[in-house]
Structure 1
Amino acid sequence: MLSEQSAATVRATLPAVGAAVGEITARFYDRLFAARPELLRDLFNRGNQAAGTQRQALAGSIAAFATYLVEHPDERPDAMLDRIAHKHASLGIAPGQYAVVHEHLFAAIAEVLGDAVTPEVAAAWDEVYWLMANALIAIERRLYAQHENTGDTGGRRPWRVVERVDETADVAAFRLRPADGRPLPDFRPGQYVSVRVELPDGARQTRQYSLVGAPGSPELRIAVKRVHGGTTPDGEVSNHLHARVREGSVLELSAPYGDLALEATDVPLLLASAGIGVTPMIAMLEHLALTGHRAPVTVVHADRSPAEHALRADHEAYAAKLADAAVHFWYEHPEPGHPADRTGLVDLTGVPVSAGTRAYLCGPLPFMRAVRTQLIEKGVAPADIHYEVFGPDLWLARES
């Protein structure tokens, strides 16, 4: 993939670029939004920008991709590219936007590294960028085609809210039907849609929410957790949805995307979630129940308390319909009588995990890291552990 000359240059300069990539991405976003303020208003997540998490994610993906190219010259990191491409497709990213990113990213590299960016270095990293960009463009084009959409809208359509249920104090579930009369899109259990709303200041912000329900339903359902910022800004879109969206409201949704999708299989499964990460697991469980999955299914969930465990009734009901399922709930603040060994953080020591298990994880990054480590210790192959990150993928940022 990467030419031999460029590979040698990237290998030699990767430590310097890696050390400066955080500053490079900060400069990049400053330049990009100064030149194109509408991108911050109508495309990029303003909360993630304010918190700096999107910058960390971009830095991590660049460093991870470059490292993979020099360590595996005849391969490409398909899993990472697929995850990014699905997020981009849900936002309606168009091929021409990669040239805009290139312009401001390479200007930022030159500003930060100065004279170290020789023509040879610039050419090598330019090759890295376009290898990644063109791979993403190709994947995104295929994803758009799957939804019969060749434009740059991500398949967005109007959907009417037909029911709102407040699952917990901070989680509201919305059932939606097409407002345009067209059929529901196909999707796989575990995928998400992007919801775009117009905020009071005129900004059109977009967030991803997992579909809560199996394919084949006459409706789509999403569950939205209201984000209380604390040290970071409150979630703009989640708070808007909680405060303003009721039965009869119309929302703009993308087509379904996401690479954490349950594959047709008869192998043992483990579905582990924490907090609002439960949403894709509910879709998977319902689908497994409807399709008569016979192999063992281990259900793991962690939450602060039973009262904060959104969709708990669905969690238990769908698991109960399976031929061979075991349910394990951990709570930091449990009800009286809750097992002591299921109090606090998830500990899989006493949880049987069948040989050949395929695992799906969704929740905060520390939770997923801890569960992944425990599963590997129990003999689950790393390639059989799949995860979904809500928001910027900081797993890569912390591993790079």
Structure 2
Amino acid sequence: MLSPTSTDVIRATLPVVGAAISDITTLFYRKMFDAHPELERDLFNRGNQKQGEQQKALAGAIAAFAALQLEPDQARVDLILSRIANKHASLGIEPSQYAIVHTHLFAAIVEVLGDAVTPEVAAAWDEVYWLMAETLIAMEAGLYASAGVAAGDVWRDVRVRERRHESADTVSFVLTSLDGSPLPSFAPGQYLSVAVHLPDGARQIRQYSLSSAPSRGDWRISVKRAGEVSNFLYHNVFEDDVVTVSTPFGDLVLQDDDAPLLLVSAGIGCTPMIGMLSHLADTEDSRPISVLHADRSASSHAHRAELTELVERLPFAVMHRWYEDLGARRPEGSLREGRADLGEVTIAPGTRAYLCGPLPFMLGMREALLAKDVPAENIHYEVFGPDSWSATV
């Protein structure tokens, strides 16, 4: 909790800092990478940096966290920081790295805001930063402890047992341990990081949802051919190859209750839903489950046949599919043409909704769910890439 003095200063300066936060975070990354080029080369997502997505997400998180110190809302704080902490854990972030961020972030604040950064202003924002950082460090320590690993020690080599095409541009990899022992379990909906060394020498890391049930002793990820890491995996990794992956993390997980479920996905966002459905089918779950998926076409729909099979294994599950291009097919049964629309979908009281797909798709689905009286706290989501949602909703 912020001190009363710092609270007053943050209240007075938040509009100015908030208006400049995008400039601050952009300059921050430039300064940090100039001082530590290995972080840009070996840890941060170069694609997100180039597109400005990481800067936007960081700016939103800082501004939202600061605002929540003035009007406390612990649920929103937990939402924002839990997602960051899980992503950090999957990257093996260690407490000492927060000091590096602090140095270059505050150098950027001073450079952008100039004389407006008085000693009192600097002290107040320093307090905000360390309150946020120490909360994240504590969360990450809990995640590492739950995973049974030391802080940052999340990496292991695994072997590709099977590679299979799941659509025209997506392959799945079944991963096993090198010694044949079962891999650690995970919660349905979680993801792991994959680290690869690219031809230019950079070590780049991306996260992939686990698209298998946790009870099988192996891990499966599905990779769509898009972006430098996914393209590298698609074109270069085959059976018996060894890849480096992290322990599974992520907070888009099924709640331990019997609430009706609504699983909503678009494109490659189907992967955490496939993992959840695999678990639900393996445990013979009997609750009402509605599965909604949108895609460009049947040939683009990764895990299309598997999705149908999983829904058929669940006694009270129904499926709705939308393809923008049906080709020679005609709308029938659960198959519709166009974009996903919840207008005719019945949603049972008490439903928990899980969303994954492009951000505009998920924001649209969230608005539709709220309009159908689904409580905001029952709407859960996963963003592939920097999270620019949680700081804005």
Question: Residue 88 of structure 1 aligns with which residue?
Answer: 88
Question: Residue 356 of structure 1 aligns with which residue?
Answer: 350
Which letter maps to 2:68?
A: Y
CA distance in 2, matches of 1:305, 1:323: 27
Question: Residue 72 of structure 2 aligns with which residue?
Answer: 72
The CA deviation at 1:245 is 0.3
Question: Residue 273 of structure 2 aligns with which residue?
Answer: 281
1:179 aligns with 2:172: no
Is residue 2–residue 127 contact of structure 1 (8 Å, CA) maintained in 2? yes
Question: Residue 205 of structure 2 aligns with which residue?
Answer: 206
Is residue 182–residue 218 contact of structure 2 (8 Å, CA) maintained in 1? no
Question: Residue 297 of structure 1 aligns with which residue?
Answer: 289
Alignment of 1:140-219 (within 5 A): 140-153=140-153, 155-219=154-218
> Structure 2 unaligned runs (5+)?
none
The CA deviation at 1:181 is 4.5
The secondary structure found in structure 2 opposite 1:342 is strand
Cα RMSD (Å) of the superposition? 1.5
Alignment of 1:1-400 (within 5 A): 1-72=1-72, 77-153=77-153, 155-227=154-226, 235-335=227-327, 336-339=329-332, 342-396=336-390, 399=392
The CA deviation at 1:75 is 7.5
Going from structure 1 to structure 2, the CA distance change for 1:180 and 1:145 (only over 3 Å counts) comes to farther
CA distance in 2, matches of 1:210, 1:75: 25
CA distance in 2, matches of 1:65, 1:40: 25
Which letter maps to 1:278?
A: C
Going from structure 1 to structure 2, the CA distance change for 1:127 and 1:75 (only over 3 Å counts) comes to farther
CA distance in 1, matches of 2:150, 2:316: 43
Count of paired positions = 391
CA distance in 1, matches of 2:75, 2:151: 30
The CA deviation at 1:73 is 7.4
The CA deviation at 1:143 is 0.8
Going from structure 1 to structure 2, the CA distance change for 1:117 and 1:320 (only over 3 Å counts) comes to same
Residue deviations 1:130-164 (CA, integer Å, cap 9, x gap)? 111000000101111112211423x2111100111
CA distance in 1, matches of 2:359, 2:66: 23
Which letter maps to 2:207?
A: Q
Going from structure 1 to structure 2, the CA distance change for 1:76 and 1:300 (only over 3 Å counts) comes to closer
Is residue 355–residue 381 contact of structure 2 (8 Å, CA) maintained in 1? yes
Which letter maps to 1:381?
A: P
The CA deviation at 1:291 is 1.6
CA distance in 2, matches of 1:104, 1:182: 43
The CA deviation at 1:76 is 6.7
Q: Once the two structures are aligned, what percentage of the paired residues are identical?
A: 58
CA distance in 2, matches of 1:213, 1:327: 19
CA distance in 2, matches of 1:169, 1:289: 26
Going from structure 1 to structure 2, the CA distance change for 1:260 and 1:73 (only over 3 Å counts) comes to closer
Question: Residue 232 of structure 1 aligns with which residue?
Answer: none
The CA deviation at 1:339 is 4.4
The CA deviation at 1:292 is 2.1
Is residue 2–residue 73 contact of structure 1 (8 Å, CA) maintained in 2? no
CA distance in 2, matches of 1:54, 1:213: 29
The secondary structure found in structure 1 opposite 2:294 is strand
The CA deviation at 1:342 is 2.4
Which letter maps to 2:253?
A: A
Going from structure 1 to structure 2, the CA distance change for 1:121 and 1:188 (only over 3 Å counts) comes to same
The secondary structure found in structure 1 opposite 2:135 is helix
Going from structure 1 to structure 2, the CA distance change for 1:238 and 1:76 (only over 3 Å counts) comes to closer
Is residue 20–residue 112 contact of structure 2 (8 Å, CA) maintained in 1? yes
Which letter maps to 1:174?
A: F
CA distance in 1, matches of 2:280, 2:217: 18
Going from structure 1 to structure 2, the CA distance change for 1:163 and 1:76 (only over 3 Å counts) comes to closer
CA distance in 1, matches of 2:268, 2:294: 10
CA distance in 2, matches of 1:320, 1:282: 13
> Structure 1 unaligned runs (5+)?
228-234
Is residue 158–residue 180 contact of structure 1 (8 Å, CA) maintained in 2? no
The secondary structure found in structure 2 opposite 1:369 is helix
CA distance in 2, matches of 1:319, 1:290: 12
Residue deviations 1:331-360 (CA, integer Å, cap 9, x gap)? 111142124982221111100000000000
Going from structure 1 to structure 2, the CA distance change for 1:75 and 1:10 (only over 3 Å counts) comes to farther
Is residue 276–residue 363 contact of structure 1 (8 Å, CA) maintained in 2? yes
CA distance in 2, matches of 1:175, 1:287: 16
CA distance in 1, matches of 2:160, 2:50: 30
CA distance in 1, matches of 2:309, 2:280: 12
CA distance in 1, matches of 2:390, 2:119: 29
Which letter maps to 2:184?
A: P
CA distance in 2, matches of 1:73, 1:291: 36
CA distance in 1, matches of 2:133, 2:186: 26
Question: Residue 230 of structure 1 aligns with which residue?
Answer: none
CA distance in 2, matches of 1:324, 1:77: 35
* 4+ long deviations beyond 6 Å: 73-76
Which letter maps to 1:318?
A: L
CA distance in 2, matches of 1:75, 1:316: 36
The secondary structure found in structure 1 opposite 2:167 is coil
